[in-house]
A and B are shown apart, each in its own frame.
Chain A
Amino acid sequence: MTVQRDVVVKQLAELNITGNEEGLIPGYNVLVNQLPAQFWNNVAERMMAAAPADKKEEVEAALVNAAYECGYHTGYGIINSDEFKSAVTPMVTEGAKDVLRGAYAVFTAWGWAKSGIVQIKEGERMVIRAMDYYESDGAPGEKRAFMIRGVSKAFMELAYSAPYPEGMNTFDCEQTQGLECGDKYGEFVVTKK
């Protein structure tokens, strides 16, 4: 057996996540929030639109980095959480590769993207495809799945770089296809730096 994404998603997505008596959602070693997805899209779209030509690359990198750090720290919390141990670990039979598959199942359950790994060369390269993701919403345009890019390289580092928290900045991620630019799916290629 290997990790079955849809089984994991079903288990985790049905958890009723809401604030505690302090109005906060502690979990996975972080504080979680649940916001209208439009907020994150508004910020990304408007920051990119406001950036002058000579700053666009820099702003894009900042948007990716915000998700990257989130993905690295939260991803570590996820794969070490009780929820992960309960829903995913029993299906892990292929080591780091399966842990990654499980991480993408959680990624999907959190509403980030209906996504999964389609190709992996352990420790070297990974290809992710997303059939639906909120970053593609809105007017057609250029590739803009900055969050998926950041989180994907973080997950690869958690699986194959030095143990947390020493493994950062060892992989890159490029978006090669995008629903937002008329492709059939979003595709993301993670490679070693």
Chain B
Amino acid sequence: MALNPKFTFDGNTYRHYMNGVMSVLHCHHYMSLTTKMAEDYESIGGVRILIESAEDAVRPLFDKYCAENGVSDPVARLQVGAEFYPVMGLGLMQFQGSEPGGDVTLTRSHVDAGWQKKWGNTDHAVNHFTCGYIAAMFAAAFNKPARSYDVVENASLAKGDPQSRFAVTLK
């Protein structure tokens, strides 16, 4: 399947849209500091908030794209998520999965590379954004509601591992 990303710019509001979903450009500093802030405020559930914010923000894009392009096969729907990942500048993603769960690997990652550029290697996995992104991918693929999948990052480029790896499990 070849993804068909479409970018439009509204000349009146000056807003960007990616396949009809409003989008915005930011940089690795913003992502890294937002990630760090979520960790610093773990006492109020910062990391969970970040993960769920990502899941809820990307899910409409996957659902809209699949509906408008007639993508109904679950694996093809997962592929939509994997192919949007580099389009957004987030890195390179491979996956295998079915309804009960699966595995996702990253060989390049905006979140991890950004963290390393800013602070060097870390001693813990930091790609919370992608945990939410993957949860949305699987939930969209198998027509599940939000929070249906647990995603755990068990290898991390930012830690110096050769790949980031995520285990996905249906709750």
Chain A residues at the B interface, C-beta cutoff of 8 Å: 9-10, 13-14, 16-19, 22-25, 28, 30-40, 42-43, 46-47, 50-52, 55, 59, 62-63, 65-67, 69-70, 73-74, 108-112, 114, 132, 134, 147
| A110 & B25 in contact (Cβ 8 Å cutoff) | yes
Selected A-B contacts with CB under 8 Å, 7 pairs: A17-B89, A33-B89, A39-B57, A40-B26, A47-B41, A50-B45, A114-B14
Binding stretch for chain A, among B16-24, B72-80, B147-155: B16-24
| B27 & A28 in contact (Cβ 8 Å cutoff) | yes
Q: With A43-B50, A63-B37 given, is the CB distance from A70 to B88 under 8 Å?
A: no
Q: Kindly supply a per-residue 1/0 record for chain B positions 79-95, scoring 1 wherever the CB is within 8 Å of any chain A CB and 0 otherwise.
A: 00000011111111100
Contacts of A42 in B (CB 8 A): 49, 52-53, 56-57
Residue of A nearest to B18 (CB): A34
| A38 & B56 in contact (Cβ 8 Å cutoff) | yes
| B25 & A23 in contact (Cβ 8 Å cutoff) | no
Q: Is B69 part of the binding interface, using a Cβ–Cβ cutoff of 8 Å?
A: no
| A111 & B56 in contact (Cβ 8 Å cutoff) | no
Residue of A nearest to B86 (CB): A23
| B24 & A40 in contact (Cβ 8 Å cutoff) | yes
Q: Which of A14, A36, A47, A132 contacts B46 (CB 8 A)?
A: A47
How close is A71's CB to chain B, nearest CB, in angstroms?
8
Q: Could you tell me the distance between the alpha carbons of A40 and B27 in the complex, rounded to whole angstroms?
A: 12
Q: Is B29 part of the binding interface, using a Cβ–Cβ cutoff of 8 Å?
A: yes
